[in-house]
Amino acid sequence: VSTFNEYLKNRCSHIETLLDRHLPPALPTANQLHEAMRYAVLGGGKRLRPLLVYLTGEALGVRVEALDLPACAVELIHAYSLVHDDLPAMDNDDLRRGKPTCHKAYDEATAILTGDALQSLAFDLLAKTTPLLSAEQSLHMLKTLAVASGSSGMAGGQALDLLAAGRPSDATSIERLYHLKTGALIRASVDMGLIAKQDATTNQKAALGEYAHCLGLAFQIHDDIQDIESDVATLGKTPGNDQKNQKPTYPAVMGITAAKAQVRLLQHQAKAALFCLDAPGNYLGQLLDHVLT
Ligand code: IPE
Ligand code: IPE
Ligand code: MG
Ligand code: MG
Ligand code: MG
């Protein structure tokens, strides 16, 4: 376990350094948008999605440096999704990663533009030429992240999430929504790790695809459980917001016990998928336990 913790610490500080380098500098003379972008991205977050890019690539023997750009890109998209998710027109949250939300620290217009600019920066990074990836690989990653972020992915899921508020729902509709709003970026993270490996086998693709599919759903259900059971200091966000917003979350609709059982089942399924992957010493399995407990 201590080696996994060391891995996490090293990777997270590597990710922080890269994000810091790729974000525009917040010079006193520069416009406030740059500062707000840095505020929304740096100094917080579990960095789950970049970690998935690295761990997937590393499980397949890809060099870490070849994974840097997609790892940053997906975290920028994620950070943008959080800034917009917190806006008054969406979840109306005041606290994120233990700090005031972007629109509270700045203002709504700045928060909207921060999200826009983070999204653009993500694709700008994937469009960079690098000797570590072929142009085809970069283009494939760009397409993968674009589809996962858009109306058939995260943004589409967010639209369904808003539509669902205050209405009765059922497990099937909730799962479909979660696979989009949260699962899409998690699957894209794993997919980009796979793309970095030129010749991943069908078995590797299937195993990692199953892993990401299960993790995406389990991660959102776990987040919903935390919203009910955890406290502000642990979460770094205000608990109870789902109920306040009348969100038909998985635990709200199915009950907290069933929700916890579902997370365990998916965690188990995700781990089982890894058995088909011959990647000794890789931490994808430990990452599951880390983010789902
Ligand atoms: C929060 O994501 C939003 C969900 C999709 C559940 P994370 O729990 O990964 O948020 P950070 O990046 O650690 O702040
Ligand atoms: C967020 O779901 C999913 C996104 C695509 C951002 P939530 O609304 O439950 O995320 P939190 O709880 O605010 O982090
Ligand atoms: Mg939301
Ligand atoms: Mg929210
Ligand atoms: Mg939540």
Q: How far apart are CA 197 and CA 56, in angstroms?
A: 9
Q: Is 48 in the pocket of ligand 1 (CB under 6 A)?
A: yes
* 242 Cα–ligand 5 center, Å: 7
* Cβ neighbours of residue 213 closer than 8 Å, sequence gap 6 or more: 179, 183, 187
pLDDT of res. 194: 98
8 Å CB contact between 62 and 193? yes
- Spell out which residues line ligand 2, taking CB within 6 angstroms: 81-82, 85, 91, 93, 154, 158, 181-182, 223, 227, 237
* 122 Cα–ligand 5 center, Å: 23
* 136 Cα–ligand 2 center, Å: 32
pLDDT of res. 250: 98
- Whose Cα sits closest to atom 12 in ligand 1? 45
* 277 Cα–ligand 4 center, Å: 34
pLDDT of res. 126: 98
* Cβ neighbours of residue 80 closer than 8 Å, sequence gap 6 or more: 40, 114, 115, 116, 118, 119, 122
pLDDT of res. 1: 54
5 beta partners? none
HEC per residue, 104-142 = HHCCHHHHHHHHHHHHHHHHHHHCCCCCCCCHHHHHHHH
pLDDT of res. 28: 78
Structure tokens at 250: 């998985």
Residue type, 109: A
Atom of ligand 2 nearest to the CA of 185: 5
* pTM for this prediction: 0.98
Residues of the chain with pLDDT under 70: 1
